[in-house]
């Protein structure tokens, strides 16, 4: 089949590899005119690293990724550790793949290297999707259009494909904003920089997450604050680092040192959405943030998109135009319960606060999960 993928982000590129491995012709439509170094962190827990291994990109990722040694929870004032989960080699032994933390641009680059250049059409901003004829048709802002046998909407939180299938959504603002920064490691002189550490605040709106990037040469810093008057859900808007530091003035000195080291921050409002009851209509389906956008408190947004891609590729193996609608339903049935559980769990923001068993998330094997019914 000729399969179109709306969106050349992490989920779209992973799906392009998986669908080509399944024997299909693939074309990716991406609004950006080039791939710059946009964004910051991506956390790839063993479930995602294992899925990426099945796509053949794990070795390339290891060239730039860091491998956190532990996943630690600490109290905001005393610094006391309330949980410490070994990651590193122990996670690799247990789950068959390591945890990797990587700059988003490096992950995208590793995925792109697995694809022929001419299948990603940059500068193609999707304006609408027409599902009224036999084949889905994608219409672009420049007036051109493409008809395909099947279409995958991997076009992110504000997905035009989702809107075409199910109408406009109404996300709820959480009252929280997130700040992100990448800091040169040499600016920090505190312990545990090679671990994934979460500082739990006195109230759920205050938390800092930090982990290594770029083989440990850089440290990623994420923090949230309550704020009612900021509603921009964007990955690239700048924020005020002093405003952030002020909110954390009472925190442990090691937590404050992290924020002191941030030179610039991006700021994004956090919204929650309920799980979608359906992802597919006929020969069009959704993938990644387009169908299960989540707040980042379990760090699973990219991981779920990558798992989706691998399961989608398996569901479409050997399938032709006559079978694609039911193959999309098999894919959606295999994925919906899991992604809804992670979406809702992320909203609860209690993940591994006091330890606990991470196996149901980290131990999932996308390349072997059941293809019909709940995975
Ligand atoms: C610019 C950017 C920076 C990000 N930075 C981070 C980060 O620092 N940390 C983090 O954890 N997550 C970040 N994310 C989000 C993270 O990559 C996703 O949550 C996750 O990987 C899910 O992937 P996805 O492919 O479903 O969505 P995304 O990665 O968001 O990909 C969606 C793609 O669709 C494209 N698209 C959207 N609308 C259209 C349209 N109308 N026409 C054509 N193309 C369209 C977008 O340009 C994008 O490339 C970022 C996303 C983006 C787009």
Instruction: Identify the residue with better confidence: 126 or 353.
Output: 126
pLDDT value for 38: 84
Please work out whether the CB of residue 12 comes within 6 Å of at least one atom of ligand 1. Answer: yes
Is pTM beyond 0.85 here? yes
DSSP character at residue 281: B
In the structure, what pLDDT confidence band is assigned to residue 57 with cuts at 50, 70 and 90?
A: very high
Residue 4 Cβ contacting ligand 1 at under 6 Å: no
What mean pLDDT value characterizes the chain? 94
Rounded Cα–Cα distance for residues 26 and 5 (Å): 7
Which residue shows structure tokens 């789950």?
95
Tokens 């923090």: give the residue: 223
pLDDT digits (tens, 9 = 90+) for 278-302: 999 999 999 999 999 999 999 999 9
User: Do 35 and 105 touch, CB atoms closer than 8 A?
Assistant: yes
Residue 129 has pLDDT above 90, yes or no: yes
Q: Which tens digit of pLDDT belongs to each residue from 349-373?
A: 878 877 778 899 999 999 999 987 4
Q: Which atom of ligand 1 is nearest to the CA of 14?
A: 25
| For residue 375, pLDDT beyond 70 | no
Tell me, in angstroms, the distance from the centre of ligand 1 to residue 156's CA: 5
Residue of 375 and 164 predicted with greater confidence:
164
Mind listing the pLDDT tens digit for each residue in 192-227?
A: 999 999 999 999 999 999 999 999 999 999 999 999
Which atom of ligand 1 is found nearest the CA of 296? 11
Q: What does each C-alpha distance from 195 to 38, 100, 173, 208, 322 come to in angstroms?
A: 24, 11, 31, 13, 49
- Would you say the CB of residue 153 lies under 6 angstroms from ligand 1? no
Question: What is the CA(10)–ligand 1 centre distance, in A?
Answer: 7
Q: Is 293 in the pocket of ligand 1 (CB under 6 A)?
A: no
Confidence at residue 350, expressed as pLDDT on a 0 to 100 scale = 77
């Amino acid at each position: 089949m000729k399969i179109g993928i709306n969106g050349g982000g992490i989920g779209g590129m992973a799906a392009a590899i998986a669908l080509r491995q399944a024997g299909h012709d693939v074309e990716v439509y991406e609004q950006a005119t080039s791939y710059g170094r946009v964004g910051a962190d991506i956390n790839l827990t063993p479930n995602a690293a294992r899925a990426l291994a099945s796509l053949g990109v794990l070795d390339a990722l290891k060239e730039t990724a860091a491998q956190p040694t532990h996943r630690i929870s600490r109290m905001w004032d005393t610094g006391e550790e309330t949980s410490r989960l070994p990651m590193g080699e122990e996670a690799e032994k247990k789950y068959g793949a390591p945890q990797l933390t990587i700059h988003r641009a490096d992950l995208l680059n590793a995925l792109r290297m697995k694809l022929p250049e001419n299948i990603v059409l940059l500068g193609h901003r999707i304006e609408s999707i027409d599902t009224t004829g036999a084949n889905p048709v994608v219409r672009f802002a420049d007036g051109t259009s493409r008809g395909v046998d099947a279409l995958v909407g991997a076009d992110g939180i504000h997905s035009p494909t989702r809107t075409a299938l199910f109408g406009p959504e109404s996300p709820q603002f959480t009252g929280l904003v997130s700040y992100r920064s990448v800091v040169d490691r040499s600016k920090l002189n505190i312990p545990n920089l090679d671990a994934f550490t979460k500082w739990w605040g006195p109230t759920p709106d205050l938390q800092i997450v930090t982990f290594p990037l770029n083989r440990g040469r850089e440290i990623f810093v994420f923090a949230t604050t309550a704020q009612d008057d900021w509603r921009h859900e964007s990955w690239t808007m700048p924020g005020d680092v002093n405003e952030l530091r002020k909110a954390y003035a009472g925190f442990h000195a090691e937590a404050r040192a992290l924020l002191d080291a941030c030179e610039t921050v991006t700021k994004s409002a956090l919204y929650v959405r309920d799980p979608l009851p359906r992802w597919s209509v006929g020969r069009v389906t959704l993938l990644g943030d387009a169908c299960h956008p989540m707040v980042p408190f379990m760090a699973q947004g990219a991981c779920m998109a990558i798992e989706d891609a691998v399961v989608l590729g398996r569901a479409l193996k050997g399938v032709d135009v006559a079978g694609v609608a039911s193959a999309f339903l098999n894919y959606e049935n295999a994925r919906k319960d899991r992604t809804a559980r992670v979406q809702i769990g992320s909203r609860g923001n209690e993940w591994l606060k006091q330890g606990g068993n991470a196996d149901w998330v980290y131990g999932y094997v996308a390349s072997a999960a059941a293809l019909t019914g709940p995975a």
